[in-house]
Chains A and B, each alone.
Chain A
Amino acid sequence: MDPIITVKNLAKTFSLKQKPAGFTAGLKSVFNPQYKEIKAVDKINFTVESGEILAFIGPNGAGKSTTIKILTGILYPTSGKVNVLGFDPSNERQKLAFHIGSVFGQKPQLWYHLPPIDTYNLFSKIYELNSNDYQNRLNFLVDSFEITELLKTPVRKLSLGQRMRCEIVASLLHRPKVIFLDEPTIGLDVVAKRQIREVIKFLNEKEGVTIFLTSHDAGDIEALSERSIVINFGRIIFDDTTEKLKKNYIKSKIVELITENPTKDFKFVGGKIVEQTKYAIKVELDTGVSPIKKLLNYAVKNYDIKDINIFDPPMEEIIAAIYEAPNV
């Protein structure tokens, strides 16, 4: 089967004006501005097959969003070739737009003061949907995403998690073949994150939608994708199964314990204390060596536990682990 996204030697360079400090230097820069070339994406190559969930991950400023914006035709590449569903996004943006959906986690597409149903009705016209088709599709999505109660509530009154579910529905009304999700779980609490991940899985399994997901939350990747591409400083440094990424590079978890009694005598063997206050302690565990269960058993036995939080390692640590690996 031919890939539905092909990226060959893709590069994107931005020129950033440099502002020197001080009055004289600032004045000089008016007449002789200095620019710095930033390689946001540096000759990357990859393909995506139909029905895949691909995690495109990396720290802030790695080039994830730039790549998505080139794939959706918003940005022009500096060089290289891109093909999405048979279209060249730079030259056929409007044609491509009928077949793709996008959600940019930090940027709302729903009308802020209006209820989501108004935006959905607008999108049905923008995407030139037949009114019966649209109604059936809307009913299906509203049921699937459990947003019946939210449809007529102004967006400004929705919680972030509710809003994200409504945002994703807006991107699915026209039955896109590929959906680009740029940090869809950013800023969400644990429950809302889980809901969004379930929605993404549902889309992929029930509708066969290809998902192109960017995130710097390792939890998103573990929960969703079979394949991961890690990008850093505009270059792909890992392109393989998520299983391999987890096995080799996402080995640790950080467990935070909030206790009723002082933590000063905490003596768990098999974890590294990364932060400790009188009634709270954060322990980093190598889950291959010390399972979380072992730590929790120790904690429950020795302390009155008030709360427990489990965190994934930050993306920067995963990147560092990839760089430190002998084959990179």
Chain B
Amino acid sequence: MTKVLTVSVPKYWEVAKVNFSNSTTYLTNVLARSATVVIRIWIFTQLYRVTYAVSGSHVIGGMTVSMVIWTLMFTQGFQTATRPGVIRLIDEEVKSGNLAYSLNRPYSYLLFHYFSHLGRLVPILFANIVIGILATVVLAGPINITGIGILAGIILLFFGYTLDFLISFMVGLTAFWVEDTSAFNWIYQKGQMVFGGNILPLALFPPGLRAIAELTPFSQLFYGSAQTIVNFTMGNFLKFLSVQLFWVVIFAMLAVYLFRKGGRNVSINGG
């Protein structure tokens, strides 16, 4: 097996650029998809206003209603930018036989997909966040976000996307062994729904459950970044970053191992 991590920056930069261009081909589609965030923010705003009113508190777990809505907007905006997901793309590549081309080039298969993923998601992320911010200002009102919070959030977001890619890459690679990866994909999606802060920010969890949830890889994908942007504390940032890096290293090793094992299992369809 050839090296999995052959680093050549211009090569992968170009891969990201082509995927970026490809993503922007249908700009109206991207904008229309991003616009659905307005509906979600409106629903969350109604839901959490009632919840807070019933509880009689203005602040729960250090978060006001507006902060909750902003956190959810960022978490969902970050997460939905990853679609179409890496799992589906790799699964299709293995099943359709297009793997014949992507394996047959002088680059690392893993890095090729990683940079493709980053290039693909940037325009969608940009649209999601711009529309999301406008909608949240109107529906939930503005909050105070600091420059350092944004910077720290961007760092966590970068590693969050890396972690999401590595997990998705591994799940996609299971297509080398199983006929259908959708069961694994389902588990990953549901893990994110429960522990990823997509619907309920972890700050609102009971303390014990919150501590556990914050150690899972699911919360390190997008919630850590969103929470850090909305409610920055250096302690939380460093905690998120260290847990996140731990999972990135673990999943990077597993992804490389799985790819090496899977490479011997390639049985390209239609050939």
Contact = CB atoms under 8 A, between A and B. Distances in A.
A102 interface: yes
A111 B103 CA distance: 16
Contact of A93 (B8, B11, B103): B103
A126 B11 contact: yes
A199 interface: no
A182 B103 CA distance: 16
Interface residues of A, number: 36
B107 interface: yes
Interface in A59-110: 65-66, 68-69, 72-76, 91-95, 97-98, 102, 104, 106-107, 109
A113 B104 contact: no
A72 B104 contact: yes
A125 B12 CA distance: 8
B270 to A, nearest CB: 7
Given A126-B105, A128-B11, A128-B106, A107 B100 contact: yes
Nearest to B98: A107
Given A73-B104, A75-B268, A121-B14, A94 B6 contact: yes
B182 interface: no
Contacts of B100: 69, 72, 74, 102, 104, 107
Contacts of B26: 113
Contacts of A133: none
Name B's interface SS: loop
Nearest to B6: A94
A75 B107 contact: no
Interface in B95-131: 96-101, 103-107
A119 B17 CA distance: 11
Interface in A1-35: 14, 17
A139 B106 CA distance: 23
A260 B22 CA distance: 51
Nearest to B108: A94
Nearest to B3: A94
Contact of B106 (A65, A114, A127): A127
Contacts of B179: 17
Contacts of B271: 65-66, 68-69, 182
A66 B22 CA distance: 31
A118 B264 contact: no
B15 A74 contact: no
A94 B267 contact: no
Residue of A72, A76, A97, A107 with most chain B CB atoms under a 10 A cut-off:
A107
Contacts of A308: none
Contacts of B99: 74
B117 to A, nearest CB: 15
Contacts of A94: 2-3, 6, 105-107
Nearest to A103: B101
Nearest to A68: B271
Contacts of A223: none
A126 B264 CA distance: 24
B236 to A, nearest CB: 40
A122 B170 CA distance: 26
B235 interface: no
Nearest to A14: B267
A125 B14 contact: yes
A104 B179 CA distance: 24
Contacts of A14: 267
Contacts of B101: 102, 104, 107, 109
Nearest to B96: A107
A73 B103 CA distance: 8
A37 B198 CA distance: 46
A114 B18 contact: yes
Nearest to B25: A113
Given A91-B2, A93-B1, A126-B11, 12 more contacts: A17-B179, A69-B271, A75-B268, A102-B100, A107-B97, A107-B100, A109-B101, A113-B25, A119-B18, A126-B14, A126-B15, A127-B106
Interface of B: 1-3, 6, 8, 10-11, 13-15, 17-18, 21-22, 25-26, 96-101, 103-107, 179, 263-264, 266-268, 270-271
7 contacts: A68-B271, A93-B103, A94-B107, A102-B101, A113-B25, A118-B18, A121-B18
Interface of A: 14, 17, 65-66, 68-69, 72-76, 91-95, 97-98, 102, 104, 106-107, 109, 111, 113-114, 118-119, 121-122, 125-128, 154, 182
Please list the 9 inter-chain residue pairs (A to B) with the smallest Cβ-Cβ separation, ordered nearest first: A65-B271, A125-B14, A94-B2, A113-B25, A97-B106, A109-B101, A122-B18, A94-B106, A93-B2
